[in-house]
Amino acid sequence: MNMQTTSVMAPPTPKGLGEMKLPIVMMRDILLKTIFRKNVDTVSEVAQAICLPGSVTQELIDISREQKLLEATGTLSANSGNEMGYQLTDAGKARALDALSQSEYFGAMPVPLDVYSEQVKRQSIRNIQVTRDQLVGAMGHLVLPDSLLDHLGPAVSAGRSVLMYGPPGNGKSSISNGIRDALGDNVYVPYAIEYAGQVITVYDPIVHTAVEQEADDPNSLRRRKRFDTRYVQCERPTVVTGGELSLSMLDLVYNPTARTYQAPLQLKSTGGIFIVDDLGRQQEPPQALINRWIVPLEENKDILGLQSGEKFEVPFDTLVIFSTNFHPNEIFDQAALRRIFFKIKIDGPDQENYLKIFAMVARKRGMPLDETALVHLLKVKYPTINNVYANYQPIFLIDQMISICEFEGIPYQMSPDLIDRAWANMFVKDEKIVN
């Protein structure tokens, strides 16, 4: 179903234990561990801690009571609307400690992998249709040729892989961030997912930006969210990696102390963008990194492995943007290039666009333009580098001149002399250092 989406369909709230699709023992143990670790005692407090509706939480409490693992305290809590309190029995404490020795995970009940996969389809990055206006709006701070937007727009709307290449300093990273800003809507990210009885944490506040929710009325017994609270409503995520990216970062991370797994970067970026910046600067060769992505890029699924060696499939629903300063033919074979759907060259600006960028930056920085200085820059300085313009240069030169003016205690201004001083810091002379 490919349609324009402005509002993603929320994950439905489970109405009973039968809809949870998790082993009863696993749910019961997470309930006991959470009560033990968080010291919560009323149904509403426990429900909030394990992110389930009160009715489903009550079912789990009733099962635990039948098994003599929980007991009613016999007191009503005035702070919680006169709710009955519950506490762990000695057997319940023993069971909680035993369960904690097997896995330290407690808190939000995990979402089964197949249930999460259905939500991924509902909020797929491939359902998004980005218009030219949205892309221009998100990149209004950049001076880009129309022909570049002609190529970028279809690439983003297709939700397929993109390779941006070209000389450094021309805004490949800024364009990647602009694409992220153009997406606009929100997705639902689970705190954790479950596969084969193993818990894999997904929500990561470093990667995911939660959307502000209306606060529930603390005095209301019926705390109702419009979606399954095992998920966090977030902006579409963006993961940016650079020279530090290694193949191991694309595998599940196992914590031997907690005996739980953490999702790899590409799983955390589901429904959003994964930017591999500075491709070619990593320890692994670019060809090896691309080979790791071939199956996910072609089949929209990834293969991950547990400590036991068991392999399993997870959804791969990410717009992957590779960015490199190398020519693609230098770092990839043709088979790898064929698998990257869009290849877009990001060149430096022509002189006209360079001057537009220079004027825009000067206006933002409060630096008055000077015709003599600009003529000196274009006619004297740029011919020394074969008139090769780059997007980063106006910002660099103007900031340099501002620093000089502030040091000299003079008003912001530009002159041929100040251009020369700023230019000297932009390039290092090729000369031998005598020891």
Residue written as token pair 């904690």: 100
Whole-angstrom distance, CA of residue 75 vs CA of residue 334: 72
Give the CA distances from residue 349 to residues 83, 174, 364, 422, in Å, rounded to whole numbers and listed in that order: 67, 15, 19, 20
Whole-angstrom distance, CA of residue 321 vs CA of residue 125: 13
User: Is residue 223 over pLDDT 60?
Assistant: no
User: Is residue 222 over pLDDT 70?
Assistant: no
- Report the pLDDT value the prediction gives residue 160, as an integer from 0 to 100: 78
Calculate mean pLDDT across residues 333-358: 86
Residue written as token pair 């929980």: 70
Whole-angstrom distance, CA of residue 380 vs CA of residue 387: 10
Residue written as token pair 């030219």: 132
pLDDT interval class at 368 (50, 70, 90): very high
- Report the pLDDT value the prediction gives residue 221, as an integer from 0 to 100: 45
Gyration radius (Cα) of the chain, Å: 28
Q: May I ask the CATH class of domain 23-108?
A: mainly alpha
Calculate mean pLDDT across residues 14-42: 94
- What's the CA dihedral at 87, 27, 194, 232 to 10 degrees? -60
- Report the pLDDT value the prediction gives residue 218, as an integer from 0 to 100: 44
Calculate mean pLDDT across residues 118-132: 89
User: Is residue 78 over pLDDT 60?
Assistant: no
Measuring CA to CA, which residue among 62, 77, 71, 74 is closest to residue 28? 62
- Report the pLDDT value the prediction gives residue 121, as an integer from 0 to 100: 94
193's tokens: 């997912």
Say which residue, 145 or 86, is predicted with more confidence: 86
Residue 351 · residue 378 · CB < 8 Å: yes
- What is the architecture of the domain spanning 351-426? Orthogonal Bundle (1.10)
241's tokens: 């990696």
Is domain 114-345 classified as CATH 3.40.50.620?
no
pLDDT interval class at 337 (50, 70, 90): confident
Residues 6+ apart with CB under 8 A from 3: 127, 129
* 225-280: pLDDT as tens digits: 689 999 999 999 989 888 888 899 999 999 998 899 999 999 999 999 998 888 88
DSSP-assigned letter for residue 193: E
Calculate mean pLDDT across residues 4-19: 80
Whole-angstrom distance, CA of residue 365 vs CA of residue 358: 11
Whole-angstrom distance, CA of residue 348 vs CA of residue 354: 8
- Report the pLDDT value the prediction gives residue 232, as an integer from 0 to 100: 96
- Per-domain boundaries in the chain: 23-108, 114-345, 351-426
Q: Which amino acid is at 368?
A: P
Calculate mean pLDDT across residues 210-222: 59
> Picking from 35-49, 103-117, 277-291, which range would have the lowest pLDDT averaged per residue?
277-291
Residue 153 has a CB neighbour count (10 Å cut-off) of 19
User: Is residue 60 over pLDDT 70?
Assistant: yes
User: Is residue 74 over pLDDT 80?
Assistant: no
Residues 6+ apart with CB under 8 A from 345: 164, 165, 166
Tell me what percent of the residues of the chain surpass a pLDDT of 90.
Answer: 55
Q: Whole-prediction pTM value?
A: 0.82
User: Is residue 48 over pLDDT 90?
Assistant: yes
Neighbour-count burial of 342, counting CB atoms closer than 10 A to its CB (0-12 exposed, 13-18 middle, 19+ buried): middle
Calculate mean pLDDT across residues 76-103: 86
Whole-angstrom distance, CA of residue 401 vs CA of residue 373: 12
Measuring CA to CA, which residue among 220, 141, 212 is closest to residue 181? 141
Q: Which amino acid is at 79?
A: N
User: Is residue 79 over pLDDT 70?
Assistant: no
DSSP-assigned letter for residue 271: T
Give the CA distances from residue 338 to residues 91, 287, 290, 328, in Å, rounded to whole numbers and listed in that order: 60, 13, 11, 11
User: Is residue 76 over pLDDT 80?
Assistant: no
* 374-417: pLDDT as tens digits: 999 999 999 999 999 998 899 999 999 999 999 999 999 999 99
DSSP-assigned letter for residue 270: T
User: Is residue 172 over pLDDT 60?
Assistant: yes
Work out the mean pLDDT of the chain and round it to a whole number.
87
Residue 323 · residue 278 · CB < 8 Å: yes
Whole-angstrom distance, CA of residue 39 vs CA of residue 77: 14
pLDDT interval class at 224 (50, 70, 90): low
Say which residue, 154 or 23, is predicted with more confidence: 23
